[in-house]
């Protein structure tokens, strides 16, 4: 079985994240673990358990996907899950610079695990969790960018 891990803070989980997972599990991997970083350098508005719950709700209906939290080195966690790949999304050139550096370091730490990059579907190329949070903070309509549970959770935070 070809397994991938898709790590991130997912604060919040967006329709762009869902699209990437759906395409990965439909076309490339037999199973995808969405790995929610529990402790991050990023300041998050949702707790780890809230982010895990919202990701699960956002991914309902997609087979062969599991959402779990993790802490520690990603390559160690990926190896524990028997993953052969780390799945990452690339939207813009600046994403590539960061992801290339991370991919190279992960390869040094565990040469058996590959990094696989997918570009977003055209309708989500502009979408980021940061933009969604900003729109929600100012009362904008985010219903096209997140599922209803995430929308409600964001509205309750702001």
Catalytic residue among 31, 58, 88, 129: 129
CATH class (in words) of the domain with range 3-157 = alpha beta
Catalytic residue among 84, 91, 107, 121: 91
Of 26, 39, 42, 130, catalytic: 42
Which pLDDT band holds residue 107 (cuts at 50, 70, 90)? Answer: very high
Is a pLDDT exceeding 80 seen at residue 93?
no
Bridge partners (DSSP) of residue 114 are: 85
**Does residue 106 surpass a pLDDT of 90?**
yes
Confidence at residue 40, expressed as pLDDT on a 0 to 100 scale: 79
Q: Is 91 a catalytic residue?
A: yes
Catalytic site residue from 17, 31, 51, 133: 17
pLDDT in the model for residue 82: 97
pLDDT of the residue at 5:
98
Residue 17 is among the residues annotated as catalytic for this protein: yes
Q: Name the band, by pLDDT with cuts 50, 70 and 90, for residue 18.
A: very high
**pLDDT given at position 85:** 98
For residues 48-80, b (16+ Cβ closer than 10 Å) or e, as one string? bebbbbbbbebbeeeeebebeebeeebbebbbe
pLDDT in tens, 28-59: 999 999 999 998 788 899 999 999 999 999 99
31 labelled catalytic: no
Phi, psi angle pair for 134, to nearest 5° = -65, -45
Share of the chain above pLDDT 90, in %: 88
Over residues 131-145, the mean pLDDT reads 96
- Quick check: is 42 catalytic? yes
State the average pLDDT over residues 130-142.
96
Predicted local distance difference test score (pLDDT) of residue 92: 78
């Amino acid at each position: 079985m070809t397994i991938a891990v898709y790590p991130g803070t997912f604060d919040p989980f967006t329709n762009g994240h869902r699209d990437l997972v759906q395409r990965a599990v439909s076309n490339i991997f037999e199973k995808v673990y969405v790995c929610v970083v529990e402790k991050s350098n990023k300041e998050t508005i949702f707790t780890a358990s809230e982010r895990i719950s919202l990701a699960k709700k956002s991914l309902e209906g997609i087979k062969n996907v599991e959402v779990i939290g993790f802490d520690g080195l990603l390559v160690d966690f990926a190896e524990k899950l028997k993953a052969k790949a780390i799945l990452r999304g690339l939207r813009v050139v600046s994403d590539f610079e960061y992801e290339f550096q991370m991919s190279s370091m992960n390869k040094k730490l565990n040469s058996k695990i590959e990094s696989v990059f997918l570009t977003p579907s055209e309708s989500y190329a502009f979408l980021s969790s940061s933009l969604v949070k900003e729109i929600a903070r100012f009362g904008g309509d985010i219903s096209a960018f997140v599922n209803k549970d995430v929308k409600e959770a964001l509205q309750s935070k702001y």
